[in-house]
Chains A and B, each alone.
Chain A
């Protein structure tokens, strides 16, 4: 069944635009990124592969340590590997800047 995970990270930077990247297809994920105002990054992950909360936390933790941006992110995941998720996050951020 689908697992929904939520994460929050402190943020000091901001982005200008919203960005949409990726696709809900095998081994891939869709990311909707929108600027947020309150110095906090909040992420909601919906994934068809349950039981990987710790992995998500590690991938997202590393991304927001390097890029402390105030954004609201939704991820619709269809079994993307950590590497694919990291690339999609970088791509979304690049498009949003």
Chain B
């Protein structure tokens, strides 16, 4: 696809991503920035808070059906999830479950771009992640729960666990999905294990295409708004089964590279 004909999703902020996913003119934000529900913990730690806590929740329609998009902003503190942002996501999941039980389903999309829990409010954020996981497990019994990982950060940390629980997982080539981020792996296990400045390695091991080939994601999309919108609609209308994870474990990153290369039909 020509670069000039695409409309980047990753280059948008969280609010514009939510707007892009919902049908035109249907966007209506809940708890918008003017409600000023910012994190009360950051200022005391010398960090300026953002009025929406970096998490946008918007109602509207997708394919003409009631929908709710939750989008985290990877630019604000790495898209980290604090108490407020976490409560927004958990609340959206809870309301979607109630809607589904009442027979008026709301399509819920988690457009995540996050490094995981926010260390400045760690305990509350961990609690929030467990609530989010609970919410996803309850909702996926009733309808597809769609995770869309198509931002510049990707998904790491606690929210990667939540992502893995979603029944439909859409990833872009530029996005990454992993439990520990490259910096964390390098710090904890040393440069031999992972050089966090080696971008090709990082994408080989945690990149969207590899995760898709590995069977972790249900769909791989280019960084294009129209393609992503179509994939999200498909995820609700014709949900896909996740393939078996192949292979089951990756003791050695070099093995991951070989699997990736074979998946790309290249001899290692």
With A2-B43, A25-B75 in contact, do A76 and B34 touch (Cβ < 8 Å)? no
Contact between B51 and A77, CB atoms less than 8 A apart: no
With A23-B13, A23-B73 in contact, do A46 and B34 touch (Cβ < 8 Å)? no
Contact between B75 and A46, CB atoms less than 8 A apart: no
Contact between A20 and B33, CB atoms less than 8 A apart: yes
Is residue A58 within 8 Å, beta carbon to beta carbon, of the partner chain?
no
Is residue A24 within 8 Å, beta carbon to beta carbon, of the partner chain?
yes
Question: Which chain B residues in 47-61 approach chain A with CB under 8 Å?
Answer: 47-51, 54
Is residue A9 within 8 Å, beta carbon to beta carbon, of the partner chain?
no
Q: Interface majority SS on B: helix, strand, loop or mixed?
A: loop
Contact flags B26-56 to A (C-beta < 8 A → 1, else 0): 0000001110000000010011111100100
Is residue A64 within 8 Å, beta carbon to beta carbon, of the partner chain?
no
Contact between A48 and B48, CB atoms less than 8 A apart: yes
Chain A residues within 8 Å of B236, by CB: none
Which residue from chain A places its CB closest to the CB of B15 in the assembled complex? A20
A79 to chain B, nearest CB (A): 9
The distance in angstroms between the C-alpha atoms of A19 and B47, with both chains bound, is 23
Chain A residues within 8 Å of B43, by CB: 2, 46
- A-to-B contact residues, CB < 8 Å: 1-2, 18, 20, 23-25, 28, 30, 32, 34, 46-48, 74, 76-78
Known: A25-B76, A46-B49, A48-B46. 5 other contacts (CB 8 A): A20-B32, A20-B51, A23-B75, A24-B54, A77-B48
